[in-house]
């Protein structure tokens, strides 16, 4: 993917909703994020504009998987 700086963003136990092929998503809560400085300015702007960016997910086995990273607004309407 061309990156050179690996950053731990989140380490979490996976649940059915994270692995459900019908959902095609991995929920990352802001409260669980280790560091918020893992995106550059261009990537932040892409996410704000609802565009997906490519990211590398490192599995516990150290296998790398390319994912599409996108911001979803999960706020509940009252």
Q: What is the tens place of the pLDDT at every residue in 35-69?
A: 777 788 898 899 889 899 998 888 888 888 888 88
Counting every residue written for the chain, the total comes to: 78
Residue 27 CA, distance from chain mean position? 8
What does the block give as tokens for 78? 């009252």
pTM of the model: 0.62
φ/ψ region of 64 (left if φ > 0, alpha if ψ in -120 to 50, else beta) reads: beta
Per-residue pLDDT for 1 more than 60? Answer: no
Percent of the chain whose predicted confidence (pLDDT) is above 70: 90
φ/ψ region of 63 (left if φ > 0, alpha if ψ in -120 to 50, else beta) reads: beta
Q: What domain range is 29 assigned to?
A: 1-78
More confident residue, 1 or 64: 64
| Per-residue model confidence (pLDDT) at position 32 | 77
* Number of domains forming the structure of the chain: 1
For residue 16, give Cα distances in angstroms to 2, 21, 30, 42.
31, 9, 20, 32
| Per-residue model confidence (pLDDT) at position 51 | 92
| Per-residue model confidence (pLDDT) at position 71 | 81
């Amino acid at each position: 993917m061309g990156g050179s700086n690996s950053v731990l963003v989140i380490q979490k136990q996976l649940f059915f909703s994270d692995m459900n092929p019908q959902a095609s998503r991995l929920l990352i809560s802001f409260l669980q994020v280790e560091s918020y400085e893992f995106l550059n300015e261009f990537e932040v702007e892409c996410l704000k504009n609802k565009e997906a960016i490519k990211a590398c997910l490192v599995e516990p086995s150290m296998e790398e998987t390319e994912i599409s990273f996108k911001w979803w607004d999960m706020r509940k309407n009252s």
